[in-house]
Amino acid sequence: MIKNHPPTQFLADYSAGALSLAPAISVTTHLQFCDQCREAVSGLNALGGELLSDCEGIEISSSLLADTLDQLDAQLDDTPSSTVAVPDANTLADTELANEIPDYLHKFVGRSTLNWRSLSSSVSVAPITVGETEYELALHRIEAGGRTPIHDHQGTEVTVVLKGTFSDEQGMYHEGDFLIREAGEVHQPIAAQNESCVCLSVLSAPIKLTGIKQVLNPFMRFNPS
Ligand SMILES: [Zn+2]
């Protein structure tokens, strides 16, 4: 049972195409689990379509249209053809992981990008490269009964639970739950005792460890590319 959903404004921005790629992936991931938000988004999409169709068309001169199309062509010529690396889904290295993440995520999580790194004895992280510079997208895995270091954030952190359960000071979260932690909030996620927990996370700025920053901080940071 999903109890935590994206805020309405987040869904509206998603529907309007106003989110950048990593946050949009976090919403798409939640929608794989959540009928309620999927319905809300299709409602928003329909509303957006109606608003557009209500707009009265205006006449434009043929030369303006031609100039605009020329400019678009020129811009397209300047754009590199593949700014987002999409590895072959068949190259997914970790077959166990393949069962844990929604199908559509596989195209971002190929052998070339999935690189699990230990943060502690019970926590590991695998950055996902989507050509995003503003946000860091990653999978986090907490082993059964494991806990992450206590940490706070310089920016916003979005977490979507893909598999298993974890809890922190504010509650317990299950598959599909969508959480936002704002800058300055301190928390310590702990996985359930009986199974490991895998989450998709989006960070708008590097997280900073509280207290033991100097020991662990270099391992928490990874560079988006
Ligand atoms: Zn939802």
Percent of the chain predicted with pLDDT > 90: 33
pLDDT value at residue 72 = 64
How far is ligand 1, taken at its centre, from the CA of residue 11, in Å?
9
| Contacts of residue 11, Cβ cutoff 8 Å, sequence gap at least 6 | 27, 37, 40, 41, 44
- Kindly list the structural domains of the chain, giving each domain's residue range(s) and its CATH number in brackets, ordered by start: 89-220 (2.60.120.10)
Q: Locate all alpha helices (DSSP H) within the chain, ordered by sequence.
A: 8-15, 21-33, 35-54, 62-78, 95-98, 213-220
Which of 221, 139, 142 lies closest to 189 in space, CA to CA? 142
Distance from Cα 30 to the centre of ligand 1, integer Å:
6
CA of 27 to the centre of ligand 1 (A): 9
Tally Cβ neighbours within 10 Å of residue 128: 22
Q: Can you tell me the mean pLDDT for 85-112?
A: 57
Q: In the prediction, which pLDDT does 83 show? A: 44
For residue 2, the 8-state DSSP code is: -
CA of 2 to the centre of ligand 1 (A): 7
Q: How far is CA 18 from the centre of its chain?
A: 14
160 CA to middle of ligand 1, Å? 11
Q: 125 C-alpha vs ligand 1 centroid, how far in Å? A: 25
**Single pTM value for the model:** 0.70
Least confident of 5-9, 31-35, 139-143, 202-206: 202-206
Higher pLDDT, 131 or 90: 131
Q: How far is the CA of 161 from the centre of ligand 1 (A)?
A: 12
